[in-house]
Chains A and B, each alone.
Chain A
Amino acid sequence: MAAYEYLYLVTYDISDPKRWRRVFKLMKGYGDWLQLSVFQCRLSRKRHAELIALLDGIIHHTEDHVLIINVGPAESVKPQVVSLGKEFEVLERQPVIV
């Protein structure tokens, strides 16, 4: 079966602090915050389309810049990452049990 979800790195440069907050809040709903203006997300085709539509509605095309980088199929990808300082873990999907 074809891969259903992909892992993405999303980075952004937003020139206005108010818009930056909005983008940050939106991104929190779609992925895991890695560091300032960088998120990792697992997205299906539908979520991917949604996220692009929503981001596109917030940013100013002439002043801001968003990059959405596809890292590979979410279930199987093992990104080769050198992580200094903190640990980097690939996002997994699991039920939340508190």
Chain B
Amino acid sequence: MSRHYTPDHEWIDVDGDGATVGITDYAQGQLGDIVFVEVPDEGREVAKGGEAAVVESVKAASDVYAPVSGTVTQGNPALVDDPSLVNSDPEGEGWFFKLRLTHPSELEGLMDEAAYKEFVSGL
């Protein structure tokens, strides 16, 4: 399994042609208290860089983009009942959705953990 990051602060864990997507710890820290999450339905087609989910903090609403193109296989049902999972465990239980990759080559442009850490330290 490999983990990649986008400059928009999504992470994606890839295992074969399946993947799990969420937002980074840095991102949840910037957003503050999360009060609502809208995750995509199973079967929805998402395009790399396209809107895939919505996350709302006390102060602001933000889009979550698909790091790569694919078909959604599951939205995280736990976030509907407890959006604060994104604050408490952003890179674990607070994942947003799972998808099946349609263009695995799109992963090549994403950052690895070291590159993302460096990217964030420069913000």
Q: Do A and B share a complex?
A: no
Residues of B within 8 A of A (CB): none
Residues of A within 8 A of B (CB): none
